[in-house]
Structure 1
Amino acid sequence: MPYRICMLHRLALSFAVAFCSIAIVGTALAEQIGTASGLPVPRYVSLKSDRVNLREGPSKDHRTTWVFQRAGLPVEITAEFEIWRKVRDSEGAEGWVLHSLLSGRRTALVAPWKKAIDSTLYDKANAQSAMIAKLQSNVIANVRSCDGAWCRVSVEGFNGYIQQSDLWGVYPNEKID
């Protein structure tokens, strides 16, 4: 019997060590700093221009795989190399973009995964407050602030609050001042 208890303790200890290791690695990944910019990676930014080439690799010698044609579109920076940033869009397309074509201005896409359902823009950060507008999927919103559950945004002359979970371009529970 003592041998059996000892094995159970070892097994429990192994699980605890594995869990702590995963937690530490997860924390380390979340706090990476870009080698070129000194800013956190990953992070969201937006496109400065109506024409931004997405390349296979970090140089103009690499083939262009896609051309973004929407200024203000949010993208996620996932890596950095000198003056190049590896980005991912809301559909998962990845490639390299010159850093000068990116802006730190925070924008977000309204629920790109909801094809036929509109999202609601409210007067206050409360679903019981007055509705200001219905926003279609893929509309670009300028993010003013987020408290982890709601974001204050402006969209084509409308200002209000939208649930943070209805935006692509802000992280879950992210706070933005």
Structure 2
Amino acid sequence: MNRPAFLLPLVALAFLAGQPARAANDDKVPYWASIDAEIANLRVGPGDSYRIDWVYRRPHLPVKVLRREGPWRLVEDPEGSKGWMRDLLLSRQRAAMVKDGSLIEMRAKGSSAAAMLWRVEPGVVGLLGECKEGWCPFDTDGHKGFVREEQLWGTGEP
């Protein structure tokens, strides 16, 4: 056996082991994210030199990431406003917001026959679990239950 040919797979393996691990979906847009800061600036362009267009003071507010440019993300908020935000201000933790309309019911289980726990107002933000069969686990300030998926902004395909 030729010694250099034998070492080639080992060298390739060592090279790959030294590469940083990346999740399969790291580069794919659009995707859902949430604001992960007490105060987050939305800018008109991808850089600190661009004017601040909006200041968010709602941790866990869901946003749709539309584009990536270096450490900057072009995001869309639940109202449809778009702008640029630093990636450090965002989390991949899923969140959702109750859509405009009337009060919605939060249930003990993912079923309309389950006990109603609370009524939740439009605009309320909460952490989102994995939605199944049209129902989503929803946690708003420790009030946990299930709500209909179509009543939330931040669910489904971005």
Give the TM-score band, short-chain normalised: 0.7 to 0.9
Given the alignment, which residue of 79, 82, 91 partners 1:94? 82
Question: Equivalent residue for 2:144?
Answer: 159
Inter-partner Cα distance in structure 1 for 2:128 and 2:90:
16
Q: Return the alpha-carbon distance in structure 2 between the equivalents of residues 106 and 148 of structure 1.
A: 18
| Candidates 43, 52, 69, aligned match of 1:81 | 69
- Is the CA contact 1:145–1:153 (under 8 Å) kept in the aligned structure 2? no
Offset of 1:68 from its aligned partner? 0.8
Residue identity over aligned pairs, in percent, reads 31
Moved over 3 A (4+): none
- Distance (Å, rounded) in 1 between the aligned partners of 2:29 and 2:79: 19
Spell out, residue by residue over 1:45-81, the C-alpha distance to the aligned partner (whole angstroms, 9 max, x if none). Answer: 1111121111111111111111111111111101100
2:110 counterpart (103, 125, 130): 125
The alignment status of 1:134 with 2:122, answered yes or no, reads no
Within the candidate set 20, 45, 70, 2:33 is matched to 45
| TM-score, structure 2 normalization | 0.80
Deviations 1:103-133 (A, max 9, x none): 111110012x21xx10100111111111010
| Separation of aligned partners in 2, 1:148 and 1:77 | 25
Give the 3-state SS of the residue equivalent to 2:150 in structure 1: helix
| 2:129 alignment partner in structure 1 | 144
Q: Is the 8 A contact 1:119 1:166 kept in 2?
A: yes
Aligned residues: 134
Identify the structure with the greater helix proportion.
Answer: 1
**SS at 1:165 equivalent:** helix
Task: Note the aligned Cα RMSD (angstroms).
Answer: 1.6
The correspondence for 2:92, drawn from 98, 101, 104, is 104
Q: Structure 2, unaligned stretches of length 5 or more?
A: 1-24
Note the C-alpha offset of 1:148: 4.8
Contiguous gaps of at least 5 residues in structure 1: 1-36
| Amino acid across the alignment from 1:159 | K
Q: 8 Å contact 1:120–1:162 — kept in the other structure? A: yes
Higher relative contact order (CA 8 A, sep 6+): 2
Separation (CA, whole Å) in 1 of partners of 2:144 and 2:116: 11
Give TM-score, length-normalised by structure 1.
0.72
Shift of 1:160: 1.2
